[in-house]
Amino acid sequence: MRLISINSRQISKRVLLTGIMFFLYGLLYTSTLHAASPDAIDISTHHQGQTTGDNYYYLVDKSNALSLSDVIANSSWTKSEPNITNRGFTSASSWMKFTLKNSSQTNFNIILEYVEASVGSIDVYHRRLGSDEEFTHANFTFSAPVEAREVSFYRPAFELSLPYLESHEVYVRIFPGDEFPMHSFTAMRIWDQASFYLATHIELTFLVILLCTELFMGFATLLVFFISRDKMFLYYSIFAFSIASLFASLSGVWGYFFARESYQLWMVVLQISLSQIAAIWFVRCFLNIRQISKMIDNALLVAIAVSIAGVIINLSGYPYYPRLIIDNIAFLYILLVPIGLFAWKKDVPHAGLFTFSWAVFILGMLTASLRLRGYLIDSFWLQWLIYLGGFIEAFLLTTIMVLRLRDMQHAKLKIELTHRQHLENYANELSQQVKLQTKQLLEAKEKAETEARVDILTGLTNRRAFIESAHGFLARANRQPETHLYLLMIDIDHFKKINDTYGHSAGDAALVAVANSLSETIRTIDVVSRLGGEEFAALMENKDPQGAINLSERLRKAIEELVIEHEGQQIKLTTSIGIAKWGPMDNLDTLMNQADRALYQAKESGRNCVNSSCFEHHQLRLV
């Protein structure tokens, strides 16, 4: 037992010692690998859009003041970490150093493409490895005109010729910009020219399809808004246009096609801010947040207000804080998913599909933001995930808007069907009542016409009805020249005195009494009317002029003999009458003027009399 124990402890010591030696050897080997120089990039096999990968050194210039000669002599170069090319948000310049070699027997004209569209400036320097030649220099500046770019493309790209069996050392300075921190990548894609233009044409085609889809959906929903007047379609239209603008900006297409002379980084921030405002407002309205949760609604309004403040600050020339605002708002987008689920639980129409489509869009936005911040390893698919998510989201949201339009049509049809059913249910009842209602309508019409033609106080026809009837009399008289037509203008004497002495109610009683006397004396085939105030008119046919004067005198006497009882008082009154005879050359106006002049003469003659001066060619006598 003792010997076994001793041998076991010796074996354990040997195993421990061996493990320590392997551990130290592993550390030494790892550090040796880490310190190894990056491999030269062979473009004969590396020209289909592959990136520089881990085959470069990088140097961070926080002063943004180092020149090419400074960085060549600098000893602080660091070998790239595996799969890490994103240097996060920074204002410092990043330098890359790598070697390109052409091991083939063919000259290569290659293109170096930066992986992002938004960057302050990029400088590329290259020369034959080991030579003392001057470096060939090319520059890309974001705000410069498009015509100044070495390669006409919407992302930074540079041409480089590499003869066969030669190697070139390449230095790249990546300056994010000094207005605000920007994402910075130490990665360049390597293309031969044919592959570059083929890939970029395919990429541009996809971008154009995406942008045209967004624009088409924006214009289509705008048209639906003008037809339906549903504001939701207007909000979605604005959102679609803002997303199209955002995608065009992020991809570099906006600056390349629409702002070729000058496009600034702050404009990119502005377009992102506007798209965020449109998106949050659309979500708020579509999910009916104001009705289902006041607290959430207030939070969304605060986010919109902060974004609007960011736009104002940006336009005032201070883009730093707006840049921070859009980053934080982008991360808050994830909260819109539970908000959508909450609305779905509250039975908001299509909230479930809306939340799913928004989740797709948010996935693209978040991955893009995490990629730009350096939290995710950069790759082609991550770069394009935001556009793919936007395309899917646009398709789903348009589907939702189509469903909303369908719901509106169904609601309209439902209302129409309900109304039709209602009509059918009450058809029999309405058919039974139609005759009664028609009769009532006719009676109401006759009553309305009568009230429009009758003086309410006296019951006689009013001035309007008198003029209509008089035109009929005159038309008939014109067709029958032998007709004798007479117009009597009748006015109560001192009517104002009656009102002033006995009151207006007494005056009304006097008017009624005179009207009754006129109605009793004049034939029903003739026309008697109250023209207004205390003035009456009568239009009658009489072959004998003497008969007209006699009738007028009977009227005068009948009124003179009236005794009006009013509130215990007896009121007597008289009238003055003017008579005019129609002639073939007379119209209603001239006839009424003649009668008015005769009435005036009767007043001048002392009142309570009949004046018939227009009958000077006839022997007339008063009876």
Q: How many helices (H) and strands (E) does the chain have?
A: 18, 20
Q: In whole angstroms, what is the distance from residue 278 CA to residue 235 CA?
A: 7
Q: What is the DSSP letter of 256?
A: I
Q: In whole angstroms, what is the distance from residue 467 CA to residue 576 CA?
A: 21
Q: Residue 300 is which amino acid?
A: L
Known catalytic residue at 534: yes
Q: In whole angstroms, what is the distance from residue 582 CA to residue 594 CA?
A: 9
Q: In whole angstroms, what is the distance from residue 217 CA to residue 208 CA?
A: 14
Dihedrals phi, psi of 430, to nearest 5 degrees: -70, -40
Catalytic residue among 113, 169, 393, 534: 534
CB of 540 within 8 A of CB of 477?
no
- SS3 of 345-387: the string is HCCCCCHHHHHHHHHHHHHHHHHHHHHHHCCCCCCHHHHHHHH
User: What distances in angstroms separate CA 65 from CA 60, 68, 76, 78, 141, one per listed residue?
Assistant: 11, 10, 15, 19, 17
Q: Residue 265 is which amino acid?
A: L
**Residues listed for the chain:** 623
Q: Which segments of 522-605 does DSSP mark as H helices, in order?
A: 545-560, 588-604
β-pair partners for 200: none
Q: Is the dihedral of CA 57, 60, 64, 69 positive or negative?
A: negative
Q: In whole angstroms, what is the distance from residue 589 CA to residue 600 CA?
A: 16
Coil/strand/helix, residue 620 = coil
CB of 121 within 8 A of CB of 140?
yes
Estimate to the nearest angstrom the gap between the alpha carbon of 144 and the chain centroid.
35
> Smallest Cα–Cα separation from 142: which of 90, 182, 197?
182
Q: Residue 190 is which amino acid?
A: I
Catalytic residues: 534
